[in-house]
Amino acid sequence: MFDFEQYYVLESLKRAGKVIIYEIDDDVFNVEAHNPAAVIFNRFDAQLCIQHCLHLADAVIVTTERLAKALDVEDKAIIYPNSLDWATIFAAKAKDNTRIKTRLFWSGSNTHNEDFQVCIPAIERIFAEREDIELLVMGSLPPVLFEMREKYSYRSLVCPGMHTEAYFNYMQFHLDADIGLIPLTDTIFNHSKSTCKGLEYTLARLPIIASSYPPYSDVYENKVDALLCNNEEEWYQSIKLLLENKKMRDELVNKARKKAADKFNLRLNASEFGKSIATLGKNVIASRSLQKIDHSNNLEVAQNL
């Protein structure tokens, strides 16, 4: 919420005694200039409005502790990690894979141009060495991937983005790929992200190769449940290692799925989240009753809203 008209609605509801819970999943105060979203979130008025909303809120839902700290809302943060219903997901059958070429995979949007450049030199080295490798990209392509597609048109496949529910169904049952790539630049904005792409790849039974920065270095252990890379050479060696080692790919996937079922389990995390919301409501109501604030003048306004 970055518009003061939205803020005034929240303020009216707050004056009427409502509990305000604000949900946010990005460090919008550190959006890089190259990100298309910077046109909105780097405006002074937008940042000021968001600061007001965060201050007004009784609680702020975020996905990680690192994001809570970046937004300076640790005292009112409810940490609710991205989660999946693994009880249902583990029941799904593995996909049949009869392809001849080994396929690298990346999904994302055009906001990741600088991020994807992190691993392009390594991919081009692999392409130069082996003809049995191809790249599948899903979503709205960053400019750097348009260039790569023109250069390696016969080895680069594109799948358009789709509705969220269709996307998760596609990842779980229909994605035909072998290795998932998650390149990130080392920026303040990226450090406050969550590992949702890692969960999506794990859902698709893809071993993860990611940049060795938060959030992935906060969650994954190198060569245990993912491969983490700091530079071009490490990206090259990691991709090459998994291309040549099917057993290691399977081991990484199995350990990543176990971690996801333990830490990113919808049934467990939703239960804790519900308890947090219930406790928050009781505490806010108790606190306001002690303050003895008269909201009678604002009640009719709130009801109309």
**pLDDT tens column, 150-180:** 777 778 888 888 888 898 888 888 888 999 9
Least confident stretch, 43-52, 112-121, 241-250: 112-121
Average pLDDT (41-69) is 94
What is the chain's mean pLDDT, rounded?
Answer: 87
CA distance from start to end of the chain:
17
**Does pLDDT of 13 surpass 80?**
yes
Beta bridge partners of 105: 136, 180
Average pLDDT for 274-293:
75
State what percent of residues in the chain have pLDDT above 90: 59
Model confidence, pTM: 0.86
- Percent share of the chain, pLDDT over 70: 91
For residue 20 the two structure tokens come to 């305000």
Is the pLDDT score of 292 beyond 60?
no
**pLDDT exceeds cutoff 80 at 303:** no
Q: Which residue has the higher pLDDT, 99 or 227?
A: 227
Assigned token pair, 201: 């790849």
Q: How far apart are CA 195 and CA 225, in angstroms?
A: 13
- Record the tokens describing residue 51, joined without a space: 């600061």
Question: pLDDT at residue 47 above 90?
Answer: yes
- Residue 101 reports pLDDT greater than 50: yes
Order of strands across the sheet with 179-182?
Answer: 156-159, 133-139, 102-108, 179-182, 208-211, 227-229
Q: Is the pLDDT assigned to residue 289 strictly greater than 80?
A: no
Residue 78: CB atoms within 10 Å: 18
294 pLDDT more than 70: no
Cβ-proximal residues to 13 (8 Å cutoff; 6+ apart), any chain: 20, 302, 305
Instruction: Summarize the confidence of residues 262-288 as an average pLDDT.
Output: 86
Contacts 24+ apart (CB under 8 A), 93-97: 94/205, 95/173, 95/174, 95/175, 95/176, 95/205, 97/176, 97/178
pLDDT of residue 89: 76
The amino acid sitting at 71 is: L
Question: Does position 52 have pLDDT exceeding 70, yes or no?
Answer: yes
What's the pLDDT score for residue 94?
58
Query: Would you state the pLDDT for residue 111?
Result: 83
The burial of 128, by beta-carbon neighbours within 10 Å (0-12 exposed, 13-18 middle, 19 or more buried), is given as exposed
Top pLDDT among 298 and 48 is at 48
Which residues are bridge partners to 79 per DSSP? Answer: 62
How are beta strands 102-108 and 179-182 bridged, if at all? parallel
Which residues lie closer than 8 Å to 7 by C-beta, 6 or more apart? 1, 49, 52, 53, 56
Q: In which residue ranges of the chain is CATH 3.40.50.2000 found?
A: 86-263
Q: What is the mean pLDDT of residues 204-213?
A: 96
- Asked whether residue 88 carries a pLDDT value surpassing 90, the answer given is no
How many Cα neighbours within 13 Å face the side chain of 279? 9
What is the per-residue pLDDT across 182-195, written as a single tens digit (0 to 9) for each? 999 999 999 999 99
Q: In the predicted model, what is the mean pLDDT of residues 24-44? A: 91
Domain 86-263 sits in CATH at: 3.40.50.2000
Kind and range of the H or E element at 164?
helix 164-169
- Identify the pLDDT of residue 158: 82
